[in-house]
Amino acid sequence: MIDAGKHSILGIKINAVDYEAAIDRIIHAAKQRQSLAVSALAVHGVMTGVLNPEHKYRLNGFDLLVPDGQPVRWALNRLYHTRLKDRVYGPNLMRKVCARAAQEGLGIYFYGSTSEVLQLMRKNLTEQYPELNVAGMEPSKFRQLTPAEKKSLADRIRNSGASIVMIGLGCPRQEVWAYEFRDLLPMPALAVGAAFPFTAGKVRQAPKRLQDLGLEWTFRLYKEPRLWRRYLFLNPAYLFLVALQSAGLYGSATEGRKPSQELLYG
Q: What pLDDT does 263 receive?
A: 82
* DSSP per-residue codes, 164-176: EEEEES-TTHHHH
Give start and end residues of each alpha helix (H) in the chain: 19-32, 43-51, 53-59, 70-80, 90-104, 115-128, 147-159, 173-181, 195-200, 208-212, 216-223, 228-229, 235-246
Residue 261 lies in a domain: no
Q: pTM for the full model?
A: 0.91
Q: What pLDDT does 74 receive?
A: 95
Residue 41 lies in a domain: yes
Residue 119 lies in a domain: yes
Q: Quick one: CA torsion of 34, 49, 142, 158, rounded to 10 degrees?
A: 0
Q: What pLDDT does 228 receive?
A: 62
Residue 205 lies in a domain: no
Q: Tell me the chain's radius of gyration from C-alpha atoms.
A: 18
Domain range for 107: 3-200
Residue 240 lies in a domain: no
Q: What pLDDT does 222 receive?
A: 64
- Give tens-digit pLDDT for 127-179: 999 999 999 999 999 898 999 999 999 999 999 999 999 999 999 999 999 99
Q: What pLDDT does 65 receive?
A: 98
Whether the bond into 172 is cis, omega within 30 of 0:
yes
Q: CA nearest 167: which of 158, 178, 157?
A: 178
Residue 31 lies in a domain: yes
Number of domains the chain contains: 1
Residue 24 lies in a domain: yes
Tell me if 68 sits within 8 A of 2, measured CB to CB: no
- Give tens-digit pLDDT for 173-199: 999 999 999 999 999 999 998 899 999
Residue 209 lies in a domain: no
Ranges of residues in the chain with a pLDDT under 50 are none
Q: What pLDDT does 28 receive?
A: 98
Q: What pLDDT does 9 receive?
A: 97
